[in-house]
Amino acid sequence: MKRVLIVVLLIALVAGAAAAASIFLHVGPLADLVQPKEPPKPAAPSPPVHAEITVGSFVIPVIQDHAIGRMLGMDIALDVLAPDQPKVEAQLPRIMNAFTLALYEIVPVHSDSHSAADKRAIHDRLLATGERVVGKGLIQDVVLKSVYDR
């Protein structure tokens, strides 16, 4: 009985040593049992903080049959990054003037207040005008808060 117990303990000891060697040396069927820990990934950078600058309300007359048929009004704001806000606010009078001129050019052609394509055309023109006035990259987006007929 003693011999059987010693043989069983020796077999268990040899099997345990073989399993430990397989894990430690990363060979054999137990190689993938213990995976090395991956270093923690760096935290994602926080999203940039945006600020909104109100440009104002614009009312543009739409000429039809040699008279003012109706008026298109819109409230406009600029979406800028918070660090760029003082630079853009310093240029606000120039932006308002450029927007007024651009709206007088584009609104007679795109004057439907319910058309998404017309709103997109006005948005794109104002964004290009704003970037031309203050420089590329300072204005993130032009926000047409409301477009309405008067």
**C-alpha distance from residue 104 to each of 45, 97, 111 (Å):** 42, 11, 11
We find that the CATH architecture of domain 50-149 is: 2-Layer Sandwich (3.30)
Q: What is the pLDDT along the chain (150 residues), one digit of tens a residue?
A: 888 888 888 888 888 888 777 777 777 776 667 666 788 888 888 888 999 999 999 999 988 888 888 889 999 999 999 999 999 999 999 999 999 999 999 988 887 878 889 899 999 999 999 999 999 989 999 999 998 887
The whole-angstrom separation of Cα 10 and Cα 111 is 92
pTM score > 0.75 for this model? no
- Single-letter amino acid code for the residue at 25: L
CA distance 147 to 126: 14
Backbone angles phi, psi at 86, to 5 degrees: -65, -35
What are the structural domain ranges in the chain? 1-41, 50-149
Backbone angles phi, psi at 71, to 5 degrees: -130, 140
